[in-house]
């Protein structure tokens, strides 16, 4: 079994729980109350030194100074989920896309949009893999494992939704 290293960082969206493998590749980023989020396990090893670069990049992101993370990510999932997650990585800062557009990017049919939504909801790397940039086809905010209020906060940070979706 591989060792899980972790640290916790404060952020404007709550305390973040980060995990990494032995090489220092980021394997998850969870927020409090996240659907499917991770929690510290007894056999995990605290290793804040492994996360120095991640912490610096997150601080710059929350300060509005970083538009694209340059991190070694290592999330494992099914081939389909990994295709969806790779597509998320190509959604630029300050823009949004839809579930249907993500499905089209990976060559999935319109019928697969629900499966795409499931894969996005299972994204283990919130914030750094920008699932918060995926919205409904009608422009509405839709599910976010970290909670819609956090999704709204992240989109506003990136300059989206100025005056839009206030009621959501």
Active-site annotation, residues: 131
Cβ–Cβ contacts within 10 Å for residue 49, how many?
9
Helix 113-121 to helix 79-89 angle (10° resolution) is 80
Listing DSSP states for 120-152 in one string gives HHT-SBTTTS-GGGEE-TTS-----TT-HHHHH
**Which residue is associated with the tokens 């300050």?**
94
């Amino acid at each position: 079994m591989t060792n899980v290293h972790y640290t916790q960082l404060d952020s404007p969206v709550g305390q973040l729980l980060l995990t990494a493998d032995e090489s220092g590749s980021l394997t998850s980023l969870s927020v409090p109350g996240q659907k499917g989020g991770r929690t510290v396990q007894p056999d995990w090893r605290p290793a804040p030194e492994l996360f120095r670069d991640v912490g610096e990049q997150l601080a710059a992101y929350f300060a509005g100074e970083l538009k694209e993370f340059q991190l070694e990510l290592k999330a494992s999932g099914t081939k389909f989920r990994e295709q969806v997650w790779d597509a998320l990585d190509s959604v630029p800062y300050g823009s949004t896309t839809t579930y249907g557009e993500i499905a089209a990017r990976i060559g999935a049919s319109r019928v697969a949009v629900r499966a795409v939504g499931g894969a996005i909801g299972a994204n283990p790397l919130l914030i750094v893999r920008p699932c918060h940039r995926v919205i409904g086809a009608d422009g509405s905010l839709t599910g976010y494992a970290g909670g819609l209020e956090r999704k709204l906060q992240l989109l506003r940070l990136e300059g989206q939704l100025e005056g839009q979706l206030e009621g959501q």
